[in-house]
A and B are shown apart, each in its own frame.
Chain A
């Protein structure tokens, strides 16, 4: 009886527990309903802002440099933004500087399962508005000179390209024929991206973009050592990019496969231009025509060829116990370029039967198209583990293989500068690079909020076509990080990397005519030491002070290394403060100083068998140092006049002092002979002051005024102006006819007045 009663009680308990459990399971499986504390709201409205006004600009000096990537011409100014937000999507759209060369448009739709974004960007690159050129574009990328002027220059009755100091005292006939024009280019890019969540675990994305470049850029197109030309080459190219990916993700990991491709199409295949010092081809050709200017009447050169890139990749992530993760990626890439090749030369004198009889390989090209191809394989594997709060491990392996499969092109007979056929060409050389990189590190928490990490890195390069066939980097790294507490952040890093090459080939240097003691700095034996230290102190919640220092030293010290870059040092120091006490005031200031110094050695000599080549008294050195100061400060007063106003003032400054100190016995000899003059330092100073103030005199309507002041001073010996006319380019200089593009000072005042409307 008691048992029956007991059992009955148990059954009753059990039966009451089971529904509770079922309800628990259901509750656990279902998301709790979103609790609403207010009645359902009205449908969300559109929000937005319209800034519309006018901008005026008053500038002296190099206006193109002031604008650079912007369009600051007088006229309207627009900034429009609209958005709508519901519980299931957010729609944003914006437009900036409508109708201007730097206009931008953006739109995005973020929904529960679909995300779409698109945009159009226009980015100008303004080289110069006072550039000049005597070349007239007769047809696409075919540049012609005045035939009468050319005839005068060839007959030496007029100066074309100054060939002596006395020529400099005269005005080049081409300067008189050069109208001023604006040298600019424009990059316009349209892009779209769609991401769709197929389900909670799977997503698909696709993107396309198309970028067009038009305008012109300064381009070197020369005929001889004493006849270097720069002209405004036309740009007409487009790059199309497409990418797509499929991703599957669960709690334990993620897998993604993707494809991307890029097609660069250059609608202009070559550049043809008239020789400023030859109206007719030198006939017969002059074997020294590449140095004395007795060359062709026209030149032709290739321009960047159309090409394409195709890549498939996979990325995976797997989460393991003990806070461990394994992730990695693999990618297979193809690059192809198969443009039709231009002929050996445009010079009809060289293309004549008599010349070709001596240079039979110039009768035809070994092949009609480039057939250039590169295949690449890249793989990365990362392992990281934090089994407890005190210790962590990371390891990384990367493999990259760049294989150039372009067939060798036999150009042992070729034409130099369209002027002279030679047999001193060679075969094309393609560069393969295989890189294996391994890094491992251990992190130990030595104190609350402080951890120390030590690591080792191994980097091995196998290369073809270089002086060293193999390079190996051994890197030791140590860092300390104190983060996560409210008072202080400390980050420090030290790195020592020792690079050693093997498989050195002195013959490869000799084949190129180089000094046997030369080592190319991107492959030479090198000791590298780098350190950085960052302190951020937060004495209160509203102030942070930061100090950072860094230093780096590269020393190139391999056996037999005598010429080239010998060492390279840099130091950096910054100090800053940010104050943000309230919603009424934000203030910040930062100062930074950088110092760079490099040392290189060379030898000024004729080739063997001239004994100069081996004469150490012909050695010279160059010590190049640059000091840069950077300063910026800002003040935000978001509610200077109650909630209706916003004021921001900022100032930026940067300067540079770049010096060139020559030394060594060759310099001493030149100095003794009175044929050496040191170069002046290249300096520049840039200031920018910006102020913007807005005031809403009604809830939705306001007015804003803005002002920018920008001043740039520069002294650069490589930029030439007419004597007594600073800022006016001199296009005819010793051995050169250029566009006059260079680095020149400017001062700009830009003012905005805008009406503001918020909705």
Chain B
């Protein structure tokens, strides 16, 4: 009987100890969060009021869940440690992927759904590379006042193109980078946010070029960027090279297409109309495609 009693007592004791210990442990869980007001005691300037994160009526937001600790993790250890930075998630000390992992549990929908594996993600660009939740300067919680100044540090040579003679209305304030690109990932190439090809993206605004046409022009069907620089160019109509020389890169036939169009022709021959003004497209105006039965060579 004695061994049975011993075992019974031991088992009971074990059960009691384990269950009581677990209860104590669980009782510690809510204590790991200290609440937003505790955070603001020291970090008063780090509020996120005025942003969508602050909507308490939306159950998904930080304000409706754990406040500051929704993104920075439970703060009790940080507070108990006298502000020990190693006891709290600080974005400044994280890698881009680590900081992004704090955002993507919520921001993984809609325009952010294709972030993982996207071009910026693959190059160690994280959310906080461009966004500042606490002190945004621009729209969409951007760190700078405009999209252009956000993109410029890495894409300076592209941003500079908006100052060229022929450009999209970006520097006039009528367009921004996000008019064409979804920097968070896209099903189209080059992070183009609309359509599935370059042409579909461009034709979303320039629908008159969409076609399809009776007579198609091969480089147009391939991609608009064969002939155009969408970011800006010093050539007319944002072409990558001046006409007629752009056209002469492909049209090496006979008679007028491969003619030498120089200053002498310009001064002495009616072939000057291939050099001045609209150049080739003064005749071949339907260059993006023609719907005319006699539209061969895009003359009609």
Contact = CB atoms under 8 A, between A and B. Distances in A.
A426 B210 contact: no
A171 interface: no
Given A17-B22, A372-B212, A546 B153 contact: yes
A104 B169 CA distance: 14
Contacts of A653: 163
Contacts of A534: 154
A161 B260 CA distance: 22
Interface in B77-107: 92, 94-97, 101, 105
Contacts, number: 510
A381 B57 CA distance: 36
A735 B273 contact: yes
B262 to A, nearest CB: 6
A576 B263 contact: no
A622 B243 CA distance: 13
Contacts of A520: 218-219, 250
Contact of B263 (A219, A677, A733): A677
B299 A17 contact: no
Interface stretch (A172-180, A407-415, A495-503, A747-755): A407-415
A157 interface: no
Interface residues of A, number: 225
Interface string A507-546: 0000011110010111100000000001010000000001
Given A27-B29, A264-B208, A342-B292, A87 B215 contact: no
B68 to A, nearest CB: 11
Interface in A666-689: 666-667, 670, 675-680, 682, 684, 686
B19 A228 contact: no
Given A17-B22, A327-B114, A534-B154, A662 B260 contact: yes
Given A384-B121, A564-B249, A87 B208 contact: no
Contact of A304 (B37, B209, B267): B209
A414 B296 contact: yes
A157 to B, nearest CB: 20
Given A382-B114, A483-B124, A345 B294 contact: yes
Interface in A399-448: 400, 402, 404, 406, 409, 411, 414-418, 425-426, 428-431, 433, 441, 443
B266 A411 contact: no
A734 interface: yes
A594 B164 CA distance: 12
Contacts of A325: 116-117
Given A200-B59, A302-B295, A325-B117, A225 B270 contact: yes
Interface in A601-650: 601-608, 610, 612-613, 620, 622, 624, 626, 628, 630, 632
B248 A717 contact: no
A305 B116 contact: no
B234 A656 contact: yes
Nearest to B160: A630
B45 interface: no
Contact of B211 (A211, A307, A317): A307
Chain A interface main SS type = strand
Contacts of B58: 111-113, 197
A389 B197 contact: no
A28 B109 contact: no
A714 B23 CA distance: 81
A102 B57 contact: no
A215 interface: no
Interface string A229-267: 110000001010100010101010110100000101010
A112 B57 contact: yes
**Chain B interface helix/strand/loop/mixed:** loop
A602 B254 contact: no
B222 interface: yes
Interface stretch (A29-37, A136-144, A278-286): A29-37
A164 B116 CA distance: 64
Contact of B187 (A195, A253, A329, A576): A329
A431 B218 contact: yes
A443 B294 CA distance: 55
Contacts of A123: 169, 174
A154 interface: no
Contacts of A219: 285
B17 to A, nearest CB: 9
B108 interface: yes
B92 A225 contact: no
Interface stretch (A48-56, A333-341, A699-707): A333-341
A294 interface: no
Given A315-B114, A521-B250, A484 B33 contact: no
A104 B256 CA distance: 47
Contacts of A400: 196-197
Contacts of A70: 172
B46 interface: no
A666 B260 contact: yes
Interface string B253-275: 11110111011101111111101
Contact of B293 (A112, A411, A741): A411
Nearest to A324: B116
A123 B290 CA distance: 27
A349 to B, nearest CB: 15
Nearest to B232: A654
A692 interface: no
B293 A365 contact: yes
B200 interface: yes
A313 interface: yes
Nearest to B204: A262
A630 B161 CA distance: 9
A88 interface: yes
Contacts of B216: 404, 428-431
Contacts of A380: 114, 187
A584 interface: no
B277 A742 contact: yes
A45 B142 CA distance: 25
Contact of A305 (B8, B23, B213, B253): B213
Nearest to A2: B9
Most buried by A among B5, B95, B291: B291
Top 3 A-B pairs ranked by shortest CB distance?
A: A735-B270, A677-B263, A17-B23
Given A521-B249, A592-B156, 14 more contacts: A24-B26, A87-B57, A88-B56, A225-B273, A254-B108, A264-B207, A266-B208, A335-B210, A404-B216, A417-B300, A483-B129, A572-B157, A600-B249, A607-B253
5 contacts: A68-B169, A256-B109, A406-B212, A484-B94, A513-B253
